Structures are given as structure tokens and as C-alpha cells.
Chains A and B, each alone.
Chain A
Amino acid sequence: MTYTFHWEVPLQNLPEFLWGALATLEMSGVACLLGSLVAVSCALARLSKNKYLRRAATAYVEIIRNTPFIVQLFYVYFGLVTFGINLEAFSVAIITLTLNCGAYCTEIIRAGIQSIHRGQTEAGLSLGMTSWQVFRYVILMPTLRVVWPPLASQFIATMLGSSVVSAISAEELTYAGMMLESRTFRTFEIFFFLTIVYFLMARLFSLLFSLTGQKVFREAWGQL
């Protein structure tokens, strides 16, 4: 092995990685938030009495879950252009990540809602709560408590998966690494360093999510 490592290349360019990490967080943060909204509506659609709503939501979930993210990305990217909509790569990335994250979260939230006994809803209704109140206090909040851990790991998976959007030159952490690579050609060092950064971010958020989960759900709900 005659290769000399140049670890100073990534280390001297820390600001670029920091900027990239923040862009990744912004992108995946927005996508997870919007994705959760998509997921709650699609989960309700999947459980609704309306046959067409149910089918549409199921089709959405199955299509997204059974095709690779990178194909979805290209599809949205080129698809929007075909319809004459020119968005910057960053927005396209957010849209695709939202669709992707939404589908996976739909299944998580649906399972959570189904874990709540029918009797609970009936009890809420018979106490004179409106159906919105029942949805909010009897279904949504207790569901969130159950689904928080899998939801959090899905958010982290979305954050890690967002590295793929560099394929359409959306500017985030991996893209920052690729730019540096094209200037310095220290491919291995840069990608190894990026891997460490992603790993640390994943660990950090995993910790943050579990702390928030403990705090929010214990205080708001006691021992349910």
C-alpha cells in the first residue's frame, strides 16, 4: 500500500462541512415535518370508510415503499421540468424527501392508530366530545406516544437517506463533500470524514429524540 492519506484536507475545510451539515438538517427537518402531516392525512385516508380514499392512500404508500428513493428523485426532478415547472434542486429534494418520508410514516401512524381500542373513541363520543376533539385527544396524542420511537428512527433514516439528493446537485452535506473532492481529489479521506459526520449526526438526533420523547410524553400523559 503506497497511498499517503491527507486527512488535513477535510480537517482544513471544516466550515464547508458545517455549512453542508446545516443544509442537510434544514432539508431533512422540513421534509420530516411536512412528511408527518402527509402521513397523518394518509393514515386517516387508509382507515377511512371511503373506498377510493383508501385505495389512493394505499397506492401511494405501496408505490413509494417499493421503489428506490433515487428513482423517485429523478422522477420528480425531470417530471416537474416536463410540466414546465422549474424549481431549484434543493426544493425538488425537499418535495421528494417529503413524499418518501410521508409514505413510511403513514404505515407507522396507521399501526399506531389501529393500536387504539375502538372503545376509546366510543367513550370519547359518548362523553359529548366532537369528532375533532376525539381525533385530537383520544386518537392522535396517545398514538403519537406509541409511534414516537419508530417515527424518530424514520426521521433519522430520512436524514441519512437525504445524502442521495446530491445526485441532482441539491446542495447539502454530501454535495459539499463532492465539491471539495472535485477540487482536491482526496476522495477516500473526504467520504470517510463525511461518514463520520453522518454517524455523529444520527447518534445526536437519536439521543435528542429519545430525550424529547421521554420528557414530552411523560409530562403530558403521566402513566397512561
Chain B
Amino acid sequence: MPDLFIAFSYKDILFLLQAALVTIGLCAMAFSCGLVVALVIGLFRTARRFPALRWIGGAYVEIFRGTPLLMQIFVAYFGLSILGLNLPPFVAVSIPLILYTGAYMGEIVRAGVEAVPRGQWEAGRSLGMRYRQLMRYVVAPVAVRVMIPPSVGFLVQLVKGTSLAYVVGYVELTRAGYIVSQSTYATMLVFTLVGAIYFGINYPLSLASQRLEVRLRRHA
């Protein structure tokens, strides 16, 4: 057996680390753009006076939470090519992840907005604030604080989710691990490394999420 492992060299480790950067980039892209979608969905979901908007927001969340991320990636990836859009692979893979983030983060936004006591809304209204002012000066300061721990928690889920970009052949950490394992036969070693890199990215996030939550509860 040992001679099989000779092919595995520091170059492969470098390749994996590079791929880890791709994974992180994909995550950053999906999270930042997904946040915009989430804001819209979250505000739709909490629109008291517009049942239609609430319904649209609800349907969006249900669809993205009720189907496998794998299918979302397939459908978006092949759907975009049917539409005749020739997007760079990074963008094509990002789009389903952005929509996915929008649904999960949208729920977090909704929870944040709903965490603001009703009386504060009314106080703002009676001061003559408009919706935008109310959101900016009354709701946001409280909601954002409530949203931070679950958002960091969702990042862990997103990092794991990017591994499914594997299926459309996009070279991120998991695909890179697969390629290296096929060329060096050091399968267990490679996947231990890949797993360790994911763990190294995610574990600090998980810990941070837990700590932030404890801190939030202490202040509440």
C-alpha cells in the first residue's frame, strides 16, 4: 500500500487550499447577495397590510426550504443555459445559492422584525414616522442584534451547501478533493484533509454563533 501514497505531494495540499478559497468566495458571494433577497422576503413576510406580499414571501420560503438544494442547483444551472444566458460558472453556481440564502435568511429577518415589540411600532407611528423611518430607527437596531447569532449559524449551513456545486462540475473544495483522490489514490487522506478544512472553516463559526446567542440572551 505505501507506494500508492507517494503521488500525493504538497502541491495537492496547495490545490486543496486554493479550492477552499473558491468555497469561501462562493459563500461570500451567496451570502452578501442573498442578504438583499432575504431583506425583501423578510419585509414581505412581515407586511401586515399586504396579504398578497405576505403570501408571495411565504411561498418563496416554502419552495426553497421544501426542495433539496441539489435540485435547486440543477434546475437553476440548466435553466440559465436554456434561457440562453452564457454566464461564467462562478455566477451560474452562485445564483441558486443566493436564492437559497434568501429563503433561510429571509426567515431570520422575519424573526428579527417580529422580535420588536408591537408597542414600539405604535410609538413610532404615533410620532408620525413613515415605514422607512420606522424600519431604520425603531426596528433595525433591535432586529439586527437578534439576527446576528442565527445568521452566523446559517453561514455554517451555507459553507456546507456550497459543496453541492460539485454536481455541476464546479471546482470547489469537494470537487477538488475528488479530483486529487482520483489522481493520487490517497482517497482517505484527501477526504480527511477536505473534511478538516471544512471543519476548520465551520467550527469557529459554530462556536461564535453559540457564544453570540448566549450573550444576546444575557442582555435580553
Contacts and interface: CB of A to CB of B under 8 A. Distances in A.
Contact of A62 (B75, B83, B188, B203): B203
Nearest to B201: A66
Chain B interface helix/strand/loop/mixed: helix
Contact of B198 (A71, A188, A194, A199): A71
A27 B206 CA distance: 29
A188 B70 contact: no
B78 interface: yes
A163 B75 CA distance: 14
A70 interface: yes
Given A1-B82, A68-B160, A191-B74, A82 B66 contact: no
Given A63-B199, A66-B199, A68-B163, A198 B188 contact: no
A52 to B, nearest CB: 21
Contacts of A194: 71, 74
A30 interface: no
Contacts of B163: 68-71
A78 interface: yes
B199 A191 contact: no
Nearest to A203: B66
Q: How large is the interface on B (under 10, 10 to 19, 20 to 34, 35 or more residues)?
A: 35 or more
Q: Which of B68, B163, B164 has the most CB of A within 10 A?
A: B68
Contacts, number: 112
Question: Interface size for chain A: under 10, 10 to 19, 20 to 34, or 35 or more residues?
Answer: 35 or more
Nearest to B156: A66
Contacts of A187: 74, 78
A79 interface: yes
Interface hub of A62, A65, A67 (most chain B Cβ within 10 A): A67
A78 B195 CA distance: 14
Given A67-B160, A167-B167, A198-B66, 11 more contacts: A1-B83, A1-B84, A68-B160, A68-B163, A68-B198, A71-B177, A72-B195, A74-B174, A78-B188, A195-B74, A203-B66
25 contacts: A2-B84, A66-B198, A66-B206, A67-B160, A68-B161, A70-B164, A70-B174, A74-B181, A75-B195, A78-B188, A79-B188, A79-B191, A163-B68, A164-B164, A167-B167, A174-B68, A188-B79, A192-B79, A194-B74, A195-B67, A195-B72, A195-B74, A199-B67, A202-B67, A203-B66
